[in-house]
Amino acid sequence: MSYRDNMSAGALSAWDRLTAQYGDLRVNSAYRDPEHNRRVGGAKQSQHMHGNAFDVDVSGMPQDARLALINDARAAGFSGIGVYDNALHFDVGPERAWGADYTRNSLPDWAASAFGGPAPTGGALQGNAMVDTGAMQPEPGQNALAQMQQQRMMQDRLQQNSRIDPRAFMASTGRAPKLSFT
């Protein structure tokens, strides 16, 4: 059985966009039936049970490469992002982000900048561009068209500015990333 089995079209589309840039990423978990989800302690309404989520092994990957992967996953269409010690969760469910205790409060500081939080200090992202998505959020009361245009602009900025440093990717994974020139 392939990890792609039972996945939603939206999740596969986002996954294919992400892996077109990164090559194969090591998947820890994708679709889970309710029984399997219960056994592994998954959330009662887990996006894994709907075929909407992938958990990716990032053990050994430096924080700047993880941040670039998060930004690229968001640009590829993933809207739910979970950040754990050795894994990242990407899903196409509602837009949200969380850390180890499944709340936004536990999102690591280094990852917060991908979601409009404060940027890490101390040069943690040397050599990688950062985008402050918080400044790109639609203002309350904007009409739907203006909101869509602003969201598209944010996605375009993420796409342009959140490329991974190939040297960091090779150092963390032992293989070269797939590069595309658009």
Convert the pLDDT of each residue in 64-75 to its tens digit: 999 999 999 999
Cβ atoms of 106 and 100 closer than 8 Å: yes
CATH 3.30.1380.10 is the classification of domain 9-173: yes
| Per-residue pLDDT reduced to its tens digit, 49-108 | 999 999 999 999 999 999 999 999 999 999 999 999 999 999 999 999 999 998 999 999
d(CA 112, CA 129): 14
Whole-structure pTM over 0.75, yes or no? Answer: no
Q: How far is CA 178 from CA 7, 44, 137, 140, 164, in A?
A: 23, 36, 31, 39, 11
C-alpha torsion 16→20→22→27, nearest 10:
20
Residues sharing a CB contact under 8 Å with residue 71, sequence separation 6 or more, in sequence order: 114, 131, 158, 161, 162
Taking phi first (over 0 means left), then psi (-120 to 50 degrees means alpha), and beta for anything else, what does residue 60 get? left
Q: Are 80 and 95 within 8 A, CB to CB?
A: yes
The domain segmentation of the chain, as residue ranges, is: 9-173
